[in-house]
Amino acid sequence: MRAAVTGVTGYVGGRLVPELLAAGVEVRALTRDPARLAGREWAGDVEAVETDVSDLDAVRRALNGADVAYYLVHSLGTGATFEARDRRNALTFARAAREVGVGRIVYLGGLYPDVPEGELSRHLASRKEVEEILLASGVPTTVLRAAVILGSGSASFEMMRYLTERLPAMTTPRWVDNRIQPIAIRDVLRYLVGSASMPPDVSRGFDIGGPDVLTYREMMQRYARAAGLPRRVIVGVPVLTPRLSSLWVGLVTPVPSGIARPLVESLVHEVVCREDDVRQYVPDPPEGLVGVDGAIELALTRIHDGEVTTRWSSASVPGAPSDPLPTDPDWAGGSLYVDERRIVVDAPADVLWQVIEEIGGHGGWYSWSLAWRVRGLLDRLVGGPGLRRGRRDEHRLRVDDAVDFWRVEAIEPGRRLLLRAEMRLPGLAWLELRVDSAAAEITDPDDAGPSPEDASGPGRTYFAQRALFHPQGLLGQAYWWSVAPFHGVVFGGMQRNVAADAERRARGDD
């Protein structure tokens, strides 16, 4: 069987691909930028196809020859026009699948209640509309409707985790007492894999959920118990609207309000499965479905062990730049401002690299922390990710990982880390960190930094750091010159403190 999978750089898609491969399915990964798959362990086992799901011809080519097509694309948190974008993309995908003869479409949608027209949230209404478009495509379609998905790194889990951990007492909206039926990510993946083999005459939606039906309040208390925290004091009040609730969630948790709002709105109504017909086609495993307690414990174990394979921040920020770092030394694309700093570190290259690879997230940025926090806050105020995304793994990085308001564009283990800025900027920005134990490649005669010989001694390492900015228009020019006076404190301080930490580790100091 050959499966075409969209959303492979997202939370669910990135976990589905290895499950399909383990089941013996050939996978064709549809992505706008195949280079973003470079850090995945399974990247060499799939056929990566550059595809924009809004381009009919591109989708036709990508789906041609596929037995099953997974549609895992949605516009969560992409702005006011997300419904129109979701509608167009679904219509394009449905038409392409029909025209090239795909055997089945599988779509992961949202579990919605039976309420009168117009009472569903915009997010759930859009999920329902996409479901109807795909079911009307003429291609046998399986729609899986899930409510809260619990798993390490999922937006729903992170929202609950940070609310519970950071607030021993909280005032909450009334929806905390609505009933929900969460489902563990591993059961979602099992249903997705099993749906590929449904009989051709099956074309319908299925509600999927775990074995527990409980309130959000009860779920937070169960998290507190699993995490070894005291029982939380939770007081529901009627004045917190979904909009205010999402702003509150965005303030307390790493999940931005643009993503938190649709999640909150989906909890305004009770979301409980109305049927369990999917078990006729995808039977329960011998050990049964994973309950809430089991899902929480599994997620916490993954986080503790540093084995979070995908995270809610895996998907790129809507509107964030994706331009690669300019490689032409003469840079024909306009102004390119560079702040370059070089230093010799009294530590082995592998020790320095360990410090560099752990930068950001809980480890911070090794310089004027107040400036970084203020910059992150300003970015959040204008709709950017700010510093709240943190890292998927506190010790290891791979291509396409989010690191606060940066994203890993390239990584050469032990040698080079290139971060691309995803904060709101009037231009494009990169931060490059390089390690070289011999510094043999540094031959610039105009370089005022240390010479290659300075790093030639045993246990000494050459550390190069570059911040690059390509301004857009007069505003971009003004931005660069307004922040340039602070580079010595921010970037200079970061390089010196990274070097000092590497030297401390090399000495074996605590």
* Pairwise CA distance, residues 160 & 150, whole Å: 10
Q: Mean pLDDT for each consecutive 10-residue tract of the chain (510 residues)?
A: 93 94 95 85 92 93 96 71 88 96 95 80 86 95 94 86 86 82 95 96 95 92 93 80 70 72 75 93 92 93 81 59 50 70 91 93 85 82 76 86 88 91 88 75 44 51 90 87 88 91 86
Domain co-membership, 156 together with 119: yes
Q: CA distances (Å), 179 to each of 44, 226, 276, in order?
A: 43, 20, 17
Domain co-membership, 278 together with 178: yes
Domain count, the chain: 2
Helix (H, G, I), strand (E, B) or coil at 278: helix
Residue 320, in any domain of the structure = no
User: In CATH, what number is assigned to the domain containing residue 372?
Assistant: 3.30.530.20
Describe the strand order of the beta sheet including 402-403 as a list of residue ranges: 337-345, 461-471, 427-436, 416-421, 406-412, 402-403
Residue 57: give the domain boundaries: 2-314
Given the DSSP bridges, would you call strands 233-237 and 169-173 parallel, antiparallel or unpaired? Answer: parallel
Q: Which of 314, 345, 371 is the last residue of a domain?
A: 314
* Long-range pairs for 382-389: beta carbons < 8 A, 24 or more residues apart: 382/424, 383/258, 383/424, 384/317, 384/422, 384/423, 384/424, 385/256, 385/313, 385/317, 385/422, 385/423, 386/256, 386/423, 388/253, 388/254, 388/255, 388/256, 389/254, 389/313
Domain co-membership, 58 together with 125: yes
Domain co-membership, 17 together with 120: yes
Residue 453, in any domain of the structure = yes
Residue pair 94/54 in contact by the 8 Å Cβ criterion: no
User: In CATH, what number is assigned to the domain containing residue 210?
Assistant: 3.40.50.720
Helix (H, G, I), strand (E, B) or coil at 155: helix
* Pairwise CA distance, residues 449 & 250, whole Å: 43
CA-wise closest residue to 468 among 416, 418, 430: 430
* Pairwise CA distance, residues 41 & 44, whole Å: 7
Residue 139, in any domain of the structure = yes
Report the Cα–Cα distance between both ends of the chain, in Å, rounded.
54
Given the DSSP bridges, would you call strands 337-345 and 461-471 parallel, antiparallel or unpaired? Answer: antiparallel
- pLDDT at residue 79, rounded to an integer: 57
* Pairwise CA distance, residues 125 & 429, whole Å: 37
CA-wise closest residue to 216 among 290, 274, 161, 153: 161
Residue 144, in any domain of the structure = yes
Domain co-membership, 75 together with 177: yes
Domain co-membership, 70 together with 164: yes
Domain co-membership, 399 together with 266: no
- pLDDT at residue 59, rounded to an integer: 95
Residue pair 226/237 in contact by the 8 Å Cβ criterion: no
Domain co-membership, 298 together with 370: no
